[in-house]
Amino acid sequence: MKKKVLSILVKNSAGVLSRVSGLFSRRGYNITSLSVGETENPEYSRMIVVVYGDDRILEQIEKQLYKLIEVESVTELLPDYSVCRELMLVTVSVTPEKRQDIISIASIFRANIVDVKPESMMIELTGDQTKIEAFLNLMEDHGIIEISRTGLTGLKRG
């Protein structure tokens, strides 16, 4: 199975997210990440969709997307020719003895500590998925209380 990151430019209209995501679910394709936001032109939104499948399935997905009236363009964000990032908030359990360790790890990953409580810290991290996964692996030993991730977003370079 191959991963594909699609940037889909759609008309900003009611129900467009439902129609696009419905296209995937009706055909049994799983969306592993989805982020949507308005573009520089308020008439359009950009959807970043991450899907896995074989070449035939991935080609079929693109063809089906173009059949939707609201879809203006579909672009594959290739790793060497695009910048993709994800935002994560994670609340970690802390003890007074481990607080400095967590602060040091956050600093190494260029993460921001956005909330501090006596027994926990909330950390904000932006980066590619491998950076986020590496950070989470280190935080598991400290006790992850809660995670919220935005899903992948990105643009083509140049």
Tens of pLDDT, residues 119-149 = 999 999 999 999 999 999 999 999 999 999 9
Question: For residue 121, what are the β-bridge partners?
Answer: 92, 116
Joined tokens for residue 98:
């481990």
**Cβ(154)–Cβ(82) below 8 Å:** yes
Q: For residue 105, count CB atoms less than 10 angstroms from its CB and return exposed for 0-12, middle for 13-18, buried for 19 or more.
A: middle
Global pTM?
Answer: 0.85
3-state secondary structure of 140: helix
Task: Decide: 116 and 70 in contact? Cβ < 8 Å.
Answer: no
- What's the mean pLDDT when you consider all of the chain? 93
